Structure formats: C-alpha cells, structure tokens
Amino acid sequence: MQKTERVELVVVNKPGVLGRVAGHIRHEGWNIKRLMVDEFRTADSGGAGDHAELSRMEIDIEGTHTKLAQVMDRLLNLDCVISIGMIRNGKKVLRGRPREKAPQKAELEQVIKAPPKKDGCFRILAINPGSTSTKFGIYDDETCILSKKIEHDPADLARLTAVLDQKELRRDCIMKSLEAAEIPLSSLDAIAGRGGLLKPIESGTYDIGPEMLEDLHSATAAIHASALGAIIAAEIAGPLSIPAYVVDPIVVDEMDRNAKLTGMPGVERSSVFHALNQKAIARRLAAELGMAYENARFIVAHLGGGITVGAHRYGRVIDVNDALSGEGPFTPERTGAIPVLPVITMCFSGEYTEAEMIERITKKGGMQAYLGTGDIRIVQKMINDGDEFAALVLDSMAYQVSKEIGAMAAVLEGLVDAIILTGGLAHSSRFTGAIKQRVDKLAPVYVFPGEDEMIALVEGALRVLRGKEQAAQY
C-alpha cells in the first residue's frame, strides 16, 4: 500500500547536498511528491538563532510503509545529514548522526619524544602544507625521527579566507609540536619547505630569498597552501641563521614548446604540477628497475586532491596538465577540463563573483560537487552501502585519468617504459584497478600509494649541504 509521509532533515550546506539527498531517495525507489528547503533556526530562539552552515529540508515521500521505515537509517548514512525527523504513531521521532567517540585523555596527552641528534649528521625540518592539513617532519640525514600530519579544523580555515592568513595557525602548530617533542630549534641545520606558484623555473633546490618571498606573497602565488611551506620555512630559519630551501616547486617548467600553445593567442599552457612527488617517485622506480631516471620514459599520475599526469622523458617533464587552472581529469576537489562556453555564460550571469567561480573550479568541483565530500574513504563507504551514483562518480574520475595517461603516451610517441600511479588516491585498489584495466596494455603499471614529498624535500636539502649540488638562486 502506497502512503505519503513527511521527512524533516537538518543538513550541512555543502555543494551538491540537495542533489545527493534527492538522488538517494529516488535511487531507493521512493517518489518525492514535495521538497522544500529553508533556513535552519533553533527552536528555543524564537526564530532568531540562524545557522548559516545548516539548512532544513521538508520532503514528502510516497512509498510502501516497509520501505519508508528505512528512510532514517539510509539517509543518516550520508555525511551531509545531521538529523532526521518523521512522524511515527502520531509522535515526531527525531534521530541524529551518532557522535564519534571522543579520544581519552591519555590519548590526547601522548607525545612522542624525539631522540637526541646524532653526531656528524644534518638535522632538517621539512614542511609540506596541504589544502586542509600541514605535514612536517624532522630528519637526521635520511632518517625520519619525527613525522606529523596536522588536520586543521575546516571551520578554522573557513574563518581565514585568504591562504596567507593561515600562516600563523600552521606555524604555531609546528612550533608547539616541536616543543612537545623536545626538539631544540638550535639543533636544526636547514629547513626545506614546499614552494608556491612562483615564476617558471628549472628543477632543483633553491635558496629562499627576498625575491622569492615577495613573489610568494603575491595574489597569484598565494592561491595554493604550498606557498606557506617556503614562507614558514624562511620565518623559522631566519632567527637561527640557517638556510631555507624549496625543492622542485610546483612551477618546475620543462615543457616542450609544442605543448605550450592553446589555440588562443595570449593564453599559454602552464607547467604547474606535483613536481616534487612526481620526480621523487620516478627516480625511485628508475633505481628499482636498474636504470637512470635520465634514461627513462615514464608517465607519472599523481592522484590527490589535485590530479596531474606528466610525461617524463629522459629526466624532464615535457608535458603535464595544469590541474589548478582546470586542465586534465576532474579530481576530489577540482573540475578538471570542462566545456568553456557554459562557464563563460556563468561568469557573465551576475550570479557569481570572480572569487566564487575560481573556488567552484579549484576547491568545490569534482567529487566534492557531486557527492559533498572529497574524501575517497567516505565515497568508498557510500559505494559499499549501495550508492550507485557514488560508484559512477569514482569510476568516471578513473576513466578521465586513463584518458590523460593515454594522451601522455602519445606525447612519448608510444615508447613508455612504465606508468606510475602515486598520491593519496592510489591507496584505493578500486580506483587504481579501474585505471590499470584501461592502460596496462600501454606499459607496465606500478602503484606507489601516498607520496614521497617529505623525503624528497630532505634529499634536495642534503644534496646542497653535502656539497653535491649548489643551491640555485631564484
């Protein structure tokens, strides 16, 4: 017997939340007869307590009584749903998302103390800021003695609208962690940090000087959190009178001139990619295969919040997509290459500012826009729970990565020694498996989950400290 029942939801205002909720309901075979979205107001404030980050949905659903009874459990599995209410036997039943277990006090207070510095070694602090986290490590030569990834509260980052405004928050987290681990700053010999959107430069280890810092503070360079790596490194190194370096920043440009033209004079393709990790992983595989990186022809796909696929020919990356500008596959956070004319229409519609359009392309696109999350672990759980649309989104992203790998095979004239999949998304066997299925006939596929950026920063600094390489000047 069909009946109509009203469901009231409190949801987080994430991109795509309406489509996710409605799509989930329809996917289960229920019919939506009415849907209304309004501001969420706390009942005890007389309507005065608004919550801009939350919305209230009223949905009239038609279906069998048995299926309607599943609504609560099904919808509460969505990470964007805070609570759900239904009328049962004349009474309103309200259920909320279960709270995660809070860490015990002993767990919060547990701090790893670093060992004392060994005689004759170089101690290096490596700093690698990401969009929502800050990773850093202390290395005695190539040995890591302390490694930490600080996940920043999204609410804290949201309040600091500009990337440069996050500098104190991230730097203080690092300094407090070093103090807790009882690592004296005086024991450091050098600091290596990620670089931001600088001017195009050759691969290598660079001194962080005044000209570089000036460019890192520009509006263009400060779009990405990687700029803070070099800025924080220089601030800590200055009072200690020790060198600060960047190694293979994201603007390493070795592109072939044929790869630069776009078809629109005045607009050229740029080399902005995960140069540090791509080159480090390529060197590692070359060593494992018993060949020099300078003699190899590799395709390297860095699969993270941004996805870049590079053609490595004899030690140089001769072509690569610029994910930050909207090239290549869509990613957990970015749109990738999309039809241009509809975007032009959106830009001139008056509905969006320039900053909002940039955010839609670089931070709120891709998987985030479709599913309300950029976390592949959450998406994998959605798929395991039977969410077919989540499966479609993930498989489509793998499809687009495969297309980009195929394009780079053409750049290398079909002569490819190996294809490398690396980055955080490479931990997903479903994702890498879908890529392998399409490209493993081009060349052997090797998977290196995660990234080697921290040790790559350290190795670059060590080459200079040991006199094997001279620090380049920006």
Check whether residue 61 and residue 169 sit in a common domain. no
Dist CA 58 CA 40 (whole Å): 11
Residue 106 lies in a domain: no
- CATH label of the domain that carries residue 28: 3.30.70.260
Q: What is the mean pLDDT of residues 302-330?
A: 95
pLDDT digit string (tens) for 247-294? 999 899 999 999 999 999 999 999 989 999 999 999 999 999 999 999
Q: Does residue 177 sit in the same domain as residue 247?
A: yes
Q: What confidence score (pLDDT) does residue 427 get?
A: 93
Name which of 31-45, 79-93, 137-151 the model is least confident about. 31-45
pLDDT for position 265 = 95
User: Tokens 């107001």 belong to which residue?
Assistant: 41
Single out the residue in 96, 130, 150 at which a domain terminates. 96
Residues 296 and 394 in one domain: yes
Whether 349 maps to a domain, the answer reads: yes
pLDDT digit string, tens, across residues 440-470: 999 999 999 988 889 999 999 999 999 999 9
- Residues 441 and 460 reside in one and the same domain: no
Task: Looking at the structure, tell me whether residues 421 and 457 fall in a common domain.
Answer: no
What's residue 264's pLDDT?
Answer: 95
**Is 262 contained in some domain?**
no
CATH code of residue 362: 3.30.420.40
Burial class (CB in 10 A: 0-12, 13-18, 19+), 213: middle
Residue 458, domain member (yes or no) = yes
Residues 203 and 133 in one domain: yes
Residue 180 lies in a domain: yes
Number of domains the chain is built from: 3
Answer left, alpha or beta for residue 120, where phi above 0 means left and psi between -120 and 50 means alpha: left
223 and 294 together in one domain? no
Same domain, 131 and 199: yes
pLDDT-based confidence at 46, cuts 50/70/90?
very low
pLDDT higher at 50 or 394: 394
Q: Residue 15 sits in which domain range?
A: 2-96
Is pLDDT at 324 greater than 70 in this prediction? yes
**What number is the average pLDDT over the span 200-220?**
91
For the stretch 54-98, pLDDT in tens is: 888 888 887 655 455 556 666 777 777 888 887 766 666 676 665
Q: What is the mean pLDDT of residues 105-117?
A: 62
User: Which of 61, 96, 131 is where one domain is finished?
Assistant: 96
For residue 100, name the pLDDT band (cuts at 50, 70, 90).
Answer: very low
Residues 349 and 406 both lie in one domain: yes
Kindly report the number of other CB atoms within 10 A of residue 464's CB atom.
21
Indicate whether 351 and 332 sit together in one domain: yes
Q: Are residues 286 and 431 in the same domain?
A: yes
User: Of the ranges 213-217, 242-246, 405-409, which one carries the lowest mean pLDDT score?
Assistant: 213-217
- Is residue 101, in this structure, part of any structural domain at all? no
Q: What is the 3-state secondary structure (H, E, C) of the chain?
A: CEEEEEEEEEEECCCCHHHHHHHHHHHCCCEEEEEEEEEEECHHHCCCCEEEEEEEEEEEEEEEHHHHCCHHHHHHCCCCEEEEEEEECCEEEEEECCCCCCCCHHHHHCCCCCCCCCCCCCEEEEEEECCCEEEEEEEECCEEEEEEEEECCHHHHHHCCCHHHHHHHHHHHHHHHHHHCCCCHHHCCEEEECCCCCCCECCCEEECCHHHHHHHCCCCHHHCCCHHHHHHHHHHHHHHCCCEEEECCCCECCCCHHHCECCCCCCECCCCCCHHHHHHHHHHHHHHCCCCHHHCEEEEEEECCCEEEEEEECCEEEEECCHHHCCCCCCCCCCCCCCHHHHHHHHCCCCCCHHHHHHHHHCCCHHHHHHCCCCHHHHHHHHHCCCHHHHHHHHHHHHHHHHHHHHHHHHCCCCCCEEEEEEHHHHCHHHHHHHHHHHCCCCCEEEEEECCHHHHHHHHHHHHHCCCCCCECC
Give the list of residues 6+ apart from residue 156 with CB closer than 8 angstroms, or none.
169
Whether 261 maps to a domain, the answer reads no
* Residue 247 and residue 383 in one domain: no
- For the stretch 356-382, what's the b/e string if a residue is b when 16 or more beta carbons lie within 10 angstroms of its beta carbon? eeeebbbbbbbbbbbbbbbbbebbbeb
| Residue 49: predicted pLDDT | 44
Give me the residues paired with residue 230 across strands.
none
The percentage of the chain sitting over the pLDDT mark of 90, rounded to a whole number, equals 64
Domain boundary (63, 96, 129) is at: 96
Domain-embedded: residue 105:
no
pLDDT digits (tens, 9 = 90+) for 11-24: 887 766 777 777 77
